[in-house]
Amino acid sequence: MNLRYGMEIRAATPAEAPGLVTLLAEAGLRAEPRELADRLATLRQGPATALVALQWGPPSGAVLLHWHPTLTGAPVARITLLLVAAAQRRQGIGRLLLKAAAQAARVAGCDRLEIATPPGAADLQGFCMATGFAAAGGSFVRSLRKQN
């Protein structure tokens, strides 16, 4: 559990499914609460984690992170979803979620974090650049280890 300015960042549980459905709908993504609850439970069993930012009420944001082994080194973590409620943007929630995702990736043994950005997602691309990511093809990449 990570608390900062009244914001809690923690692993998503099936109980958050109704609030996450609302957050996803705001981004134009559809999901049913029951199916999403099942997916959240399944994620806990694999090389992935879903984290939510909670202040009060429904989730203010969410990040979905997967990691996989590579042939050339340590596993790589990939953020496949990063959402912050529109009314709560520009309050540091995305940065807190990113920090928590990076910590989860380090614990999983990863040394690199990637974010896939869809074409035309200028806000997300700007966020990536502002948080230390470098463009790499159709995604952004950032080292999770300190550079000497």
pLDDT digits (tens, 9 = 90+) for 51-83: 999 887 788 899 999 999 888 888 899 999 998
User: Would residue 148 count as lying in a domain?
Assistant: no
Domain total of the chain: 1
Q: What is the pTM of this model?
A: 0.86
pLDDT at 100 exceeding the cut of 90: yes
3 state DSSP class of 88: helix
What's the rounded Cα separation, in Å, for the pair 76 and 92? 25
User: Would residue 41 count as lying in a domain?
Assistant: yes
Instruction: Please answer whether residues 82 and 63 qualify as being in contact, where contact means their C-beta atoms are separated by less than 8 angstroms.
Output: yes
pLDDT of res. 104: 93
State the chain's mean pLDDT as an integer. 86
pLDDT of res. 2: 47
What mean pLDDT is predicted for residues 98-104?
Answer: 93
Instruction: Please answer whether residues 64 and 81 qualify as being in contact, where contact means their C-beta atoms are separated by less than 8 angstroms.
Output: yes
pLDDT of res. 130: 86
User: Would residue 76 count as lying in a domain?
Assistant: yes
Structural domain of 95: 2-143
What's the rounded Cα separation, in Å, for the pair 58 and 54? 7
What's the rounded Cα separation, in Å, for the pair 68 and 23? 27
**CA dist 75 to 63, 92, 100, 112, Å?**
19, 28, 17, 8
User: Would residue 129 count as lying in a domain?
Assistant: yes
| CATH number of the domain within which 33 lies | 3.40.630.30
Q: What is the pLDDT of residues 13-32, one digit of tens each?
A: 898 899 999 999 988 889 99
Give Cβ neighbours of residue 59 (< 8 Å, ≥ 6 apart).
Answer: 12, 16, 19, 20, 23, 52, 53, 85
